[in-house]
Amino acid sequence: MNNQHQEPLHALAFGAHPDDVEIGAGGLLHKWAKEGKKVGICDLTYAELSSNGTPERRQQEAAEAARTLGLHVRLTLGLPDRGLALVPEQIRAIAHVIRLYRPRVVLSPYWEDRHPDHGMCSMLVREAIFNARIRKYATDASVSLPTHKVEHDLAYFINGQTEPQFLLDISEEMEAKMSALGAYRSQFEMAEDSVATPLTEGYLERVRAREYGFGQSVGVAYAEGYVSRTPLLLPGFL
């Protein structure tokens, strides 16, 4: 990872695996990118234990999805798939990225999810956000980065059905979101060497239906649901 201080991001979204962020927050990230705001994704793992595809192909798919959404940066920390844990070295790696890119908004998965890695990603990011603002906390012995206080800590939904605190209209971004998800053909499409998983059995249709349901509840075509860990003064982060 480049340890030189980067241009600050408006938003940095964390996911345990490539495609997590696109499922929950792809519409919002694309909306911000279209407005000229710099946004990025940090995948904690290469998803090396996924039932289908390879890490190399997943990285190609992630790069295609990033181009579709208009991301300013996409990076992968290379933490172990199914080995995410609340340990100092993993928290430190995430805090380092937060200090490096200095986002106003950080997004991570909602903490209740059927996949343990999604919940652990949420907890790791929460710890890292706190540590990134501590003056005497070192993230890298070879480089000194200034502290950073994240203004907004938002959780997006992957598999959970929890009632969101608020909804954001993504009607104009929905097709780009679905195109970004469609880049992950190894995950959502059956091939000769594929095995059936929850992702290959109508998962993308369920994502579209969820966003449609959220949208209908507030009178728009499609919306994404979020929970905030910090008090919100709307439309402060939009």
Q: Rounded mean pLDDT of the chain?
A: 94
**Is residue 143 over pLDDT 90?**
no
Estimate the crossing angle of helix 20-34 against helix 174-182, to 10 degrees. Answer: 140
Q: What is the CATH number of domain 11-226?
A: 3.40.50.10320
Between 139 and 38, name the one with better pLDDT: 38
- State the DSSP H helix or E strand holding residue 74, giving kind and residue range, or none if neither: strand 73-79
Between 146 and 233, name the one with better pLDDT: 146
pLDDT confidence bin for 142, thresholds 50/70/90:
low
Cα 11 to Cα 48, 176, 206: the distances in Å are 26, 18, 26
Share of the chain above pLDDT 70, in %: 97
Comparing 120-129, 193-202, 203-212, which segment has the lowest mean pLDDT?
A: 193-202
Model confidence over 49-62: pLDDT tens digits?
A: 999 999 999 999 99
Q: Give the per-residue pLDDT at 223.
A: 98
**What's phi and psi for 99, nearest 5 deg?**
-70, -35
Q: What is the DSSP letter of 156?
A: E
Model confidence over 93-119: pLDDT tens digits?
A: 999 999 999 999 999 999 999 999 999
User: What is the model's pTM?
Assistant: 0.95
Domain boundaries, the chain: 11-226
Q: Give the per-residue pLDDT at 235.
A: 78
Model confidence over 154-203: pLDDT tens digits?
A: 999 999 778 999 999 999 999 999 999 999 999 999 888 899 998 999 99
The 3-state DSSP class for residue 11 equals: strand
